Structure 1
């Protein structure tokens, strides 16, 4: 049975911040305990599957220069296709798939809006946020990872998603994901600068579950089978755990609430059917 004190949990959450810059302080703490640098400390992109830090940073700085110069063809060569482009209009989420390099060039200004371009150009390489899903640009306006396809073998890395929304959340209900047994997982891939995740809520006709971030971290160490939110995996994996035999097919709403230092709040919602 896993045991941890409340003081340690809360201190961990508060010391590293929360989403998505939560890991910025973690390498320092690790280094203090272990004087021998780990693979992750030698290469901070390791968790995203990137083995060569210098090669990745060269790729990224070259991409920045090409975006600044407006070199559409060269920029397109650094993107993965099909490319997911997320935005919003009149409060509604819009998602389109760009299938080819040619389509990307044709819709270049619709994809690389001023907001997205600014995110690339203002991004300092030493401040790139890294997690298992890839390397984040800005506050989630773009995500980069090792290239999946062999369409363009010149590049090792590629931009695989563009996100021009205020808040973006990916929900995973894939049954082949072992973490989705009696649960669904989710992560924030676009957030508003200055805002952090405050609480998570599941609401249906049958149940309402509300957990703060601190409660969800504690719940990851709990063996209770009651429905609950958990945050684990070095604070990167968010889950809603439930009894699938009893709750499968239940329709509800997942709500995430974010707040800033002046207590202003942003709310993200999604209708979900439990599987």
Structure 2
């Protein structure tokens, strides 16, 4: 439980690995690359992982190699090998009990994902379940609401150290499509910075009575006739999408005193502004710290069950 371990967050686009002190959760080293799922064939995963992490595992000097915990899309059907997606509600104990050996690499474990399958809500996630447990631990909360922005944003509710519900919203992916593949995104310059005024206009437009489909088109009409500058359009679209996301999550937001926001500082900034404009208290947790802490808790839970 106190020995070092290796935490890996392996997604569609990126590979991130951390050597972690098992007692304190302190990061002792990290490796990053763009070798995500899209860059590798399934048979390459164990070889790439072994090659990237060999220095850490050999330096440990123990009889057995350090354990590796692999979270994220690496456990998807298109990844190394498909790991189970466990039904909600979900506990750390359930994740630990269902760790799946990663074929071709000793003492390496794929972390299960999560799923919700009801008549009214069907949803899946991989990796965010670990981050939610870690973020709530770092925020010193046994429950609450976590917002995890990204290509597919996740909102995760928890009670008494148990994840109870989650919702996925395609905010990031839809922004990319609008930004690069639609008429409304055409005037945006290749290089643009976040524009607070454009973002706030988008947040306001997201509440238009005609809905999001009209609000998004206002990026075009405001550019033509209402002074929205080309360098403001991306921030406007972001405001419309994030504002709509918050509106959809309003029943869950209202049930809590605030939101634990989990992500990189750059990615989380616009969400923080939107939440605070709505008068909500925000506790920010950096995504890598959440991943490391979540896997530290999982490692401790696994060690406890083995003992």
Q: Indicate the TM-score class for this superposition, using the shorter chain for normalisation.
A: under 0.3
Flag the structure with more relative contact order, 1 or 2, with Cα contacts below 8 A and sequence separation at least 6. 2
More strand per residue: 1
More helix per residue: 2
TM-score by length of structure 2 reads 0.24
